[in-house]
Amino acid sequence: MSTATTDPAMIRLGRFLRDNPMIPLLVFLFLLIATLEVMRPGIVIPLRSGRDGLISTFWVGNLIKFAIPLAMLAACQVLTMLTAGIDLSVGVVATVSAFVCATLTTIWGVPAAAIVALATGIIVGAVNGIGVGIVRVHPLIMTLGTGLIATGCLQVYQRLFINAGSEIPEFLVWLGTGRTAGMPNGLFLFVPFALFVLWLMRYTGFGRLLFALGSNEQAAKLSGVRAWQVYIALYVLSGFIAALAGLLYLGMIRQTSLSLANPLLLPSVAAAVIGGTSIFGGRGSFAGAIVGALILRVLDTMLTLLQMPEGARTALFGLIVLAVTALYVRITGTR
Amino acid sequence: MTEPALLDATGVAKSFGAVHALTDAELRVGKGEIVALMGANGAGKSTFVKIITGALKPDTGHVLIHGQQARVGSPAEARRTGLVPVYQEPSLIPDLDVLDNLRLGDTPVAPFVHWVKELGIEDLVLNEMIADLPLATLRIIDLARALASDPDVLLLDEMTAALPTDLVERVLKTVRARANEGMGVIYVSHRFTEISELCDRASVLRDGKTVGDLQIEEGVEERIVELMLGQKIDLGQREIAVNTSTQSGSTRLKVRDLAIGTKVSNVSFDLYSDEVLGVVALEGQGQDELFQALAGFIKPTAGTIAIDGEQKQFSHPADAIASGLTFVPGDRADALLSQRSVRENIALPFSARIKAWGPLKMRHEKERVAHAIDKLQIDTRAQGEVQQLSGGNQQKVTIGRWLATGVETLLLFDPTRGIDVRTKRQIYPLVRELADQGAAVLYYTSELEEIQLACDRAIVIFNGSVVDTIDASEATEQRLMRAAYGLTGNEGAA
Amino acid sequence: MSNFLRKNAWVIGLSILLALLLIVTKMIQPSFGASGLESVARAALPFAFATAGMAVVVIVGGIDLSVASIMAVCAVTAAFLMERMASVPALFIVLGAGLAMGLINGALIVLTRVPDIVVTLAMLFVWEGVALLILDSPGGKTAPWIQEIIRDGFLVDWLPKALILLSVCTALIWGPIRRSKLGLSIYATGSDERAAFRSGVFVGRTKIIAYGICGLFCALGGLSLAALTGIGEPVPGPYLMASVAAVVLGGVVLGGGKGGLIGPIIAVFILRIIRTILTLMAVDPNVTTIIEGTIMVAVVMLGTAATMRGAKT
């Protein structure tokens, strides 16, 4: 059907890019970095340090550091998008988790606070999962709604705990801001996390089902898959990851705020989409999303250097999501 | 006649990719003529109808209306040229009332009311919502709307399918009367009784080609059936088909008085282990619903399903699978993860239950999948995407999924639709072999010769009921075709 | 007559519910009167316009997640322009901008064939960014008469001007369309796209126009927002979820083809009155937000469940 309307060379190119999404992504990332270096010589390769040709570990470390929480939230989007869903509550969940942890640490100590913080993510995820899997509300609407409710809950919570004060756990600060051999300590959390997600997607039955539900829910049903079970587990997992990312972000920013991680929401969707994950389900790669997160961070630096206002950045990210999706529809001819 | 025909379609061909739906179709409708368009399942009827009505463009050939090349690009344009179709499913907007539906298509109201009355519905309220009206009324409304726009050629697609007999009478009478005033009619139908009552001629399609144009007269049914069957390519291996040890096994599946909505009214049959039971039916006789109910997709409204003597109720396909009933749907698109690999497609049922959500047992999976691929001779590198395979290989993957899991009762719904002869020849012995190893297979097919090639017995479904049970040895295509068209055979209905 | 009752049963039920809620309000706070009514109507105005716009696109079978962002763009444009030029032409520019943004949404959906929910999600951020580009922080100033036009009562105290404005604008935009061929096409497209196509409806064109109408309503919403605050606020308000909930509560089925604008607008007032009642009962405003959010999510969930059941039978 699509063959008649689309140029065969385009299809071949599309297929190649779909099969090897990392190649163009990495090329694009390095092109961006090179452009950045041209724009502002010295930012990537500091000549002053006298070690010519060595990429500034400081800059790279910084880039990675800020890309980590974004990549973690992008993991939520990749996993949910595999089933043709999306999780728009991740920004709020991360914020809630960070806030709860910071305020409870003074009362109950770090471990209990962290556990409660992660539990909030699980609860929101469970509500999302029930709404999407059993009531069959569109994930976008459902997660938007729970995000709204969670924001309200956070505000009430804040008033109750206004006197308790807050404290950022030492461990999170170490994880968020510390460096080991020039690289951010966040990698100690992120590398195992990323390996886990990659393993989950590729080598487990659950991962198979995510792809299956997104490619063809009917076929999955035909094979005996009870979709609601998968959806609930998926959104709980997504909530948990978001809460975890919130804790890391807390240690990085070292401040509590009622909208701490909210601005990461759109970039997390954009990172997943740029990384080759299809918003229509059945196709996605977390490795791509990580590169996507790095690309967005470099882009962000560039836009800041160009003194682009906040608004232009938001609009640009929105357009990127739309353009990539439209291109995907054009190339593959799917719906 | 020097006057050009109302509608003249010649040399129409249409291909979808490698599938040649139509190769050389033609149809001529003169003034005041009612022409039946006939053809077995998959002969290309629906494609031809779409081309005539402008929903599709032909690759070659042309459709002339009033002797002029009609530039038909959309249904709206076809209507303007004077050809008005009435489709099998009414094209009315459910959430608007009758009057608004008329306004939407610029249909004049007064003639519409006249025709509705003429067609036998006296009490139609014009501001009734379409969604609140029964299906039979909707079909009448759709027809009355078409008649009200005073068409030159009227196309009726299975018009009488959901109508009670009194309304059928009125419809046939009205259509005849309009034809006598000069309107041309294309009448697409499976029902011989109506065709012989109403039509002047019958045009028969087979394998995308118009193979006959007959005057309707006494005894023409037999000739039409012959034409629809034609000289089939001999698929060979006829001798291996019929199982000698019929019904040696135990009763695997026992279906009694099954009713599903309006489509299935009374289906009872037994399926034994060691046997392949064929199901024969024209399109839309309730076979889709029967298979979906057995597979756990829909719930029957009445009747029982028992497996190995135990009554079962399915609320999800997973329940049916747990009872050993595995379903291969007719549309491969429903069954395949088209963007995923062959291996993932075959291994899909392995991961279905929560217990299997953990790490994949790669070795185990690899062995089972390799076994299935080997058995089915699926021609592939197991890493590529399923959508890159040929239709035949795709179908093998959908069957292979259950071979790898283990088959007790296999529900095959038209497994050979649109696939190549070579693959077909591989599927028949496979199905037989499964049965010989103790499986029970229910095999719906739209290709009648397959009954003798693959099955032990066959049941024939017409209008939601089992009307005949025929042993494979007697299941000639003639016999099956007659039974499927509801023509009472020599032995009478079961 | 009975047919009228049956067709409008949902709207009548909502009206009765609204009346009951007003009585409850009066019982809790005996002093609740004309001024209370006026402030409820005024606060509900942007919600009502957002909901009207959302209702039109839901009826055509789509959804517009960018309503709140379009409203923000319109609000800041109004505040920005009115500080610098005559207010009447500024008003028309804002309305035109809203219409244009809606048409762009619709055209992108039809041309790219990307699902509406994805396109409008992306456009949500694009329009939000545009709003920030026009004013990067709350500012500007709306003309005094714009602020006056929604304040106080009309002729009598208990008839809020805001309510009159809402009725007039909705009637002017939707009234002529509703009964026209275009209106029928909108309902037909949402109800059954294929049957609509076969009946000769230009489906794509109809969708684009429906999104345009939504944009126009959003422009009115943005203007009332600017009138309420007197300035332009570039950050989108909580109008998306509220409008989806009101549309569902108002009897417009997600998926299209059913309902009208009156039901959803009454639903907006019901949701606002509940908020007022909670406030009068001295419930913490943040708790009110939670309750409101929960009601909205519950409404959407019930609506979806009802649609699924309807589709199954």
Over the stretch C110-133, which tens digit does the pLDDT of each residue have? 998 888 888 998 999 999 999 999
Name every chain B residue with its beta carbon within 8 A of the beta carbon of A21: none
- Reported as a single tens digit per residue, the pLDDT across C16-54 is 999 999 999 888 888 888 888 888 899 999 999 999 999
Look at residues C198, C215, C182 and name the one whose alpha carbon lies nearest to residue C106.
Answer: C215
Is the confidence at residue A320, as pLDDT, over 70?
A: yes
Q: What is the mean pLDDT of residues B364-382?
A: 81
- Confidence check: pLDDT of B115 > 80: yes
The first and second tokens of residue B256, run together, are 């009694």
Assess if residue A94 is contained within a domain: yes
Task: State yes or no: pLDDT of A53 exceeds 50.
Answer: no
Kindly state whether residue A139 falls inside one of the protein's structural domains.
yes
Looking up tokens 């005849």, which residue turns up? B176
Statement: residue B285 has pLDDT above 60: yes
Name which of B16, B327, B344 is nearest A208 (Cβ-Cβ): B344
Higher pLDDT, C56 or B387: C56
Residue A108 lies in a domain: yes
Residue A47 lies in a domain: no
Question: Which chains pack against C, by 3+ Cβ pairs within 8 A?
Answer: A, B
Mean per-residue pLDDT for A39-48? 68
Of B51 and B222, the one with more pLDDT: B51
Q: Give the distance from residue C214's alpha carbon to the nearest chain B alpha carbon, in angstroms.
A: 21
Lowest mean pLDDT of A59-68, A220-229, A282-291, A326-335, name the range. A326-335
Instruction: Quote the pLDDT of residue B237.
Output: 46
Q: What's residue C173's pLDDT? A: 93
**Which of C199, C206, C313 to substitute to test the interface with B, most B CBs within 10 Å?**
C199
| Residues A135, C115: C-beta atoms closer than 8 Å | no
Has residue C1 got a pLDDT over 70? no
Q: What is the mean pLDDT of residues B322-341?
A: 88
User: B146: distance to nearest CA of chain C, Å?
Assistant: 11
Distance (Å) from the alpha carbon of A27 to chain B's nearest alpha carbon: 25
Nearest residue in B to A227, CA atom: B352
- Tell me which of C1 and B399 has the higher pLDDT: B399
Do the Cβ atoms of B360 and A205 come within 8 Å? yes
For residue A333, the distance in angstroms to the closest alpha carbon of chain B comes to 13
**pLDDT digits 0-9 by tens, B128-178:** 888 888 888 888 999 999 999 888 899 998 887 767 778 888 899 999 999
Interface residue C131 vs chain A (CB under 8 A): yes
Which residues does chain A have within 8 Å of residue C300's beta carbon, measured at their own beta carbons?
Answer: 137, 141-142, 145
Average pLDDT, chain A: 86
Residue pairs spanning A and B at CB distance below 8 A: 90
The per-residue pLDDT of chain C, averaged, comes to 88
Helix, strand or coil, per DSSP, at residue B7? strand
Average pLDDT over residues B55-70: 81
Residue A327: what pLDDT? 81
Question: Are A256 and A98 contacting, i.e. CB atoms less than 8 angstroms apart?
Answer: yes
**Contact by Cβ (8 Å): C99, C219:** yes
* Separation of alpha carbons A227 and B294, rounded Å: 20
Helix, strand, coil shares of chain B, percent, nearest 5, are 35, 25, 35
Cβ-defined contact of C181 to B105 (cutoff 8 Å): no
Structure confidence at residue B90 as a pLDDT band (50, 70, 90): confident
Contacts of A326 in chain C (CB under 8 A): 108, 112, 114
Check if C286 contacts A (Cβ < 8 Å): yes
Count the neighbouring beta carbons within 10 Å of the beta carbon of residue A292.
34
Given a cut of 90, whether residue C7 has pLDDT beyond it is: no
> How many residue pairs from chains A and C have C-beta atoms closer than 8 A?
128
- Which position has the higher pLDDT, C109 or B196? C109
Residue A49 domain flag = no
Lowest mean pLDDT among A175-184, B319-328, B353-362, C131-140: A175-184
B444-B447-B448 Cα angle (round to 5): 90
Higher pLDDT, B210 or B70: B210
Q: What is the mean pLDDT of residues B269-279?
A: 92
Chain-wide mean pLDDT for chain B?
Answer: 84
C 266-285 → A contacts, CB under 8 A: 284
Walk me through the domains of chain B, giving residue ranges and CATH numbers. Answer: 7-229 (3.40.50.300), 238-484 (3.40.50.300)
Using the beta-carbon criterion (under 8 Å), do C181 and B103 form an inter-chain contact? Answer: yes
- In a mutational test of the B interface, the residue from C198, C202, C206, C313 whose CB has the highest number of chain B CBs within 10 Å is C198
- The confidence score (pLDDT) of residue A227 equals 93
Distance from CA of C116 to the nearest CA of A (A): 11
Question: Is A3 among the domain residues?
Answer: no
Asked if C305 and A325 come within 8 Å (Cβ–Cβ), the reply is no
Instruction: Decide if pLDDT at C87 tops 90.
Output: no
At A156 the pLDDT is 87
C185 part of contact set with chain B, CB < 8 Å: yes
How far away is chain C from the Cα of A311, in angstroms, using its nearest Cα?
A: 4
Nearest to C195 among B79, B92, B106 (CB): B92
Q: Write phi, then psi, for B377 (nearest 5 degrees).
A: 50, 45
What distance in Å separates the CA atoms of residue C61 and residue C54, rounded to the nearest whole number? Answer: 11
Contact list in B for residue C185 (CB cut-off 8 A) is 104
Partner residue facing B105 (CB), from C190, C194, C199: C199
* Structure token digits, residue A190: 């992120």
Tell me the one-letter amino acid at B202. Answer: A
Task: Answer whether C199 sits within 8 Å of B95, measured CB to CB.
Answer: no
DSSP label of B437: T
Report which of C203, C204, C211, C207 is spatially closest to residue C103, judged by C-alpha positions: C211
Stretch among A129-138, A220-229, B384-393, C204-213 having the lowest mean pLDDT: B384-393
Decide if C3 and B101 are in contact by the 8 Å CB cutoff: no
Instruction: Please check whether residue A309 touches C, CB under 8 A.
Output: yes
Residue A128: pLDDT over 90: yes
Percent of chain A residues topping a pLDDT of 70: 87
Confidence of residue C185 (pLDDT cuts 50, 70, 90): very high
Cα separations in angstroms, A290 against A22, A177, A323, C190:
10, 20, 20, 39
Residue B71 vs residue B426, higher pLDDT: B426
**Could you tell me which chains touch chain A, where touching means 3 or more CB pairs under 8 A?**
B, C
Q: Is residue A109 part of a domain?
A: yes
Q: At what angle do helices A90-108 and A110-133 cross, to 10 degrees?
A: 150
Over residues A56-85, the mean pLDDT reads 90
Contact B316 A221 (CB under 8 A): yes
Q: What is the pLDDT of residue B492?
A: 39
| Three-class DSSP category at C225 | helix
Residue C93: is its pLDDT beyond 90?
yes
Q: CA B10, CA B210: separation in Å to the nearest integer?
A: 10
Q: State how far the Cα of B386 lies from the Cα of A212, in Å rounded to an integer.
A: 13
- Is the CB of residue A8 less than 8 Å away from at least one CB of chain B? no
Q: How confident is the model at residue C96 (pLDDT cuts 50, 70, 90)?
A: very high
CATH of the domain at A183: 1.10.3470
Distance of CA A227 to the CA centre of its chain: 24
Query: Are A311 and C112 in contact (CB < 8 Å)?
Result: no
- pLDDT (0 to 100) of residue C265: 95
B35's torsion region: left (phi>0), alpha (psi -120 to 50) or beta? beta
Contact A233 B357 (CB under 8 A): yes
Contact residues, chain B, for C258 at CB < 8 Å: 95
Check CB contact of B101 with chain C, cutoff 8 Å: yes
| Predicted confidence band of residue C109 (pLDDT cuts 50, 70, 90) | very high
Give how far B74 is from chain A: nearest CA, Å. 18
Nearest-by-CA chain B residue for A207: B357
Q: Tell me the two tokens of residue A3.
A: 């063959």
pLDDT at A198: 95
- Closest CA in chain B for residue C313: B261
Instruction: Calculate how close chain B gets to C116, using CA atoms only, in Å.
Output: 22
Residue A290's pLDDT is 95
Query: Is residue A45 predicted with pLDDT exceeding 70?
Result: no
User: Among partner residues A3, A205, A282, which is closest to B356 by beta-carbon distance?
Assistant: A205
Q: Say which of B74, B95, B101 has its CB closest to residue C257.
A: B95
**How many structural domains is chain A composed of?**
1
pLDDT band of residue B241 (cuts 50, 70, 90) is very low
Q: Residues C55, C67: contact at Cβ < 8 Å?
A: no
Residue from the list B79, B87, B104 with its beta carbon closest to the beta carbon of C188 = B104
Query: Does residue A166 belong to any structural domain of this protein?
Result: yes
In the predicted model, is pLDDT for residue C102 greater than 90? yes
Interface probe with C: pick from A138, A266, A273, A322, most Cβ of C within 10 Å: A322
Domain that holds residue A315: 8-42+56-332
Q: Once rounded to an integer, what is the mean pLDDT over residues C51-65?
A: 94
Domain ranges of chain C: 29-236
For range A220-232, the mean pLDDT: 94
Q: Do A309 and C133 touch (CB under 8 A)?
A: yes
- Sheet of B310-312, strand order: B310-312, B302-307, B251-260, B264-272, B465-471, B457-462, B276-281, B440-444, B409-413, B325-328
Both tokens assigned to C272: 């606002």
Beta bridge partners, B203, equal B37, B213
**Higher-pLDDT residue of C27, B231:** C27
Residue A163 banded pLDDT, cuts 50, 70, 90: low
CB contact under 8 A, A322 and C126: yes
pLDDT tens digits, one per residue of B432-445 = 888 888 899 999 98
Inter-chain residue contact B348 with A229, CB threshold 8 Å: no
Q: Render pLDDT for B403-453 as a digit per residue (tens, 0 to 9).
A: 888 888 999 998 887 777 778 888 888 888 888 888 999 999 888 888 888
SS3 A162: coil
Give the Cα separation of C286 and A159 in Å (integer): 9
Q: If you average pLDDT over residues B189-197, what whole number do you get? A: 81
Does the structure show a pLDDT above 90 at B74? no
Task: Report CA-CA distances (Å) from B377 to B363, B396, B409, C185.
Answer: 20, 8, 22, 52
Name chain B's partners: 3 or more CB pairs within 8 A: A, C
Query: What is the pLDDT, as a whole number, of residue A284?
Result: 87
Give me the residue label for tokens 């920013």. A253
